[in-house]
Amino acid sequence: KAGVTQTPRYLIKTRGQQVTLSCSPISGHRSVSWYQQTPGQGLQFLFEYFSETQRNKGNFPGRFSGRQFSNSRSEMNVSTLELGDSALYLCASSQIGGIGNTEAFFGQGTRLTVV
């Protein structure tokens, strides 16, 4: 069974640009969550999608957005990039939507560098 796939693995963007990251969850998983990982702030929850609906959102500005498609694949978008957006962005999928003890399976992440 294939794991969580994130593309691309690495990205370099310029301040002010926008970027779209992609995540393909494990087959059969309907929940996709996104996290930002930085040395200073650690792992922070961005948002979660379940059956194409955003069900939960972390404390990030509106420049961060996402969506989920009918096949459960998800994309996140960051507009008007800032230097502080440089981070490892991790996607996680869960079978039934992050309920209780359901484990989340993580992809290898997309390393975004903003210059």
Kindly list the residues in this chain that would bind another protein in the complex (CB under 8 A). Answer: 4, 6, 31, 33, 35, 42-43, 45, 48, 50, 55-56, 58, 90, 92, 94, 97-101, 103-109, 111
Residues 6+ apart with CB under 8 A from 101: none
Q: C-beta of 11: minimal distance to another protein in Å? A: 14
Nearer to another protein, 47 or 80 (CB): 47
Q: C-beta of 16: minimal distance to another protein in Å? A: 27
How far is residue 22's CA from residue 41's CA, in Å, rounded to a whole number? 23
What tokens were used for 98?
A: 């992050």
Amino acid at 108: Q
